[in-house]
Chains A and B, each alone.
Chain A
Amino acid sequence: MPTSADRRPSPEELLRRVQAEERRARRGRLKVFLGYASRVGKSFRMLDEGRRRKERGEDVIVASIQMPLTPDLEALMGHLEYIPPLRESYSGKEFEVLNVAAIFRRHPRVCLVDELAYDNPPGSRNPKRWQDVDNILDQGISVITAVNLQHIEEQQDAVERITGKRARQTVPERFLRSADEIVLVDAALDDMMQRAGSREPVDVRRLSELRELALLLAADVIDAQLVNYLRSNGVELRWGTQERILVCVTPRSDACAMLRSGRRNADRFHGTLLVCYVRQTDLNTKDEATVAANLALAAELEAEVHVLEGRDPIAAIMRLAREQRVTQIFVGHSRPNRWQEMWWGSPVDRLIQDARDIDVRIFPHPEMP
Chain B
Amino acid sequence: MSDAVEALPSGESSPRPRGRLKIFLGYAAGVGKTYQMLDEAQELKRKGVDVVIGYFEPHGRQDTIAKTQGLEVIPRKTIDYRGSTFEEMDVEAILRRKPAVCLVDEFAHSNVPGCGRPKRWEDVQTLLDNGIDVFTTLNVQHLESLNDEVRHITGVRVRETVPDWVVDAADEVVLVDLTAEALQNRLQRGVVYTPDKAKRAMENFFTEANLTALREMALRHTAHEVEGRLSDLPIPARGRAPIARPGPEAPARHERILICLTGRPSTAVLIRRGKRVADYLHAECLAVHVQRGSLEEHNEALEKHLSFARNLHIDTYVLRGADVARTIAEFAREQNITQIFMGRAGSGRWFSVVKSTVHRVVRLAREREITVVAERLR
Contact = CB atoms under 8 A, between A and B. Distances in A.
Interface stretch (B102-110, B173-181, B297-305): B173-181
Contacts of B234: 205
With a 10 A CB-CB cut-off, give which of B215, B373, B375 has the most chain A CB atoms.
B215
A237 B217 CA distance: 14
Contact of A362 (B215, B217, B243, B372): B372
A301 B344 contact: no
Contact of B177 (A183, A194, A348): A183
A229 B209 contact: yes
Given A242-B220, A302-B247, A269 B172 contact: no
Interface core residue of B171, B181, B212 (most chain A CB under 10 Å): B212
Interface stretch (B113-121, B192-200, B225-233, B306-314): B225-233
Contacts of B371: 328, 359-362
B248 interface: yes
B215 A222 contact: yes
B182 interface: yes
B92 interface: no
Nearest to A180: B181
B222 A186 contact: yes
A241 B213 contact: yes
B212 A225 contact: yes
Interface stretch (A17-25, A134-142, A279-287, A350-358): A350-358
A59 B206 CA distance: 29
Given A233-B209, A240-B153, A357 B367 contact: no
A360 B342 CA distance: 10
Given A188-B172, A215-B219, A222-B215, A209 B249 contact: no
B208 A344 contact: no
A187 interface: yes
Instruction: Bin chain A's interface residue count.
Output: 35 or more
B369 A216 contact: no
B152 interface: yes
B230 A268 contact: no
A361 B359 CA distance: 13
Interface string B360-376: 00110011111111111
A208 interface: yes
A158 to B, nearest CB: 7
B213 A237 contact: yes
B236 A226 contact: no
Contacts of A360: 371-372
B227 to A, nearest CB: 5
B7 interface: no
A359 B373 contact: yes
Interface string B107-137: 0000000000000000000000000000000
Contacts of B245: 267, 302
A368 B367 contact: yes
B134 to A, nearest CB: 14
B236 to A, nearest CB: 6
B interface SS class: mixed
Contacts of A237: 153, 209, 213
B290 to A, nearest CB: 20
Interface in A312-369: 328, 333, 344-345, 348-349, 352, 355-365, 368
A194 B222 CA distance: 21
B366 A365 contact: yes
B273 interface: yes
Contacts of A368: 366-367
Nearest to B22: A188
B71 interface: no
B172 A189 contact: yes
Contact of B179 (A162, A183, A188, A211): A183
A269 B280 contact: yes
Interface residues on B, range: 35 or more
A223 B214 CA distance: 10
Contacts of A240: 149-150, 152-153, 213, 217
B281 interface: yes
Contact of A215 (B40, B153, B213, B223): B223
A115 interface: no
A352 B178 CA distance: 40
A186 B366 contact: no
B189 to A, nearest CB: 8
A212 B226 contact: yes
Nearest to B371: A361
B238 interface: yes
B187 interface: no
Given A226-B213, A359-B273, A364-B369, A182 B220 contact: no
B175 A241 contact: no
Given A183-B179, A205-B233, A269-B280, A215 B344 contact: no
Contacts of A265: 280-281
B349 interface: no
B243 A162 contact: yes
B217 A241 contact: yes
Nearest to A348: B362
B201 interface: no
Interface in B327-378: 339, 344, 358-359, 362-363, 366-377
A362 B174 contact: no
Nearest to B20: A190
A363 B223 contact: no
Contact of A355 (B152, B238, B370, B374): B374
B250 interface: yes
A36 to B, nearest CB: 9
Interface string A208-236: 11011101101100110110011001010
B229 A208 contact: yes
A362 B369 contact: yes
B252 interface: yes
B153 A186 contact: no
Nearest to A31: B179
Interface string B154-176: 00000000000000000110111
Residue of A218, A238, A328, A345 with most partner-chain B CB within 10 A: A218
29 contacts: A186-B175, A190-B1, A205-B234, A208-B230, A215-B219, A215-B222, A219-B220, A222-B216, A226-B216, A237-B209, A239-B149, A240-B149, A240-B153, A240-B217, A242-B216, A260-B248, A261-B250, A265-B280, A265-B281, A267-B245, A268-B281, A300-B248, A301-B247, A302-B247, A328-B371, A333-B366, A355-B374, A357-B376, A364-B367
Given A216-B220, A260-B248, 16 more contacts: A181-B182, A183-B179, A186-B174, A186-B222, A187-B174, A203-B236, A204-B233, A206-B236, A208-B226, A212-B243, A226-B213, A233-B209, A260-B249, A270-B223, A333-B366, A368-B366
Q: Closest 8 CB pairs between A and B?
A: A215-B223, A219-B219, A186-B175, A188-B172, A181-B179, A260-B250, A361-B371, A184-B177
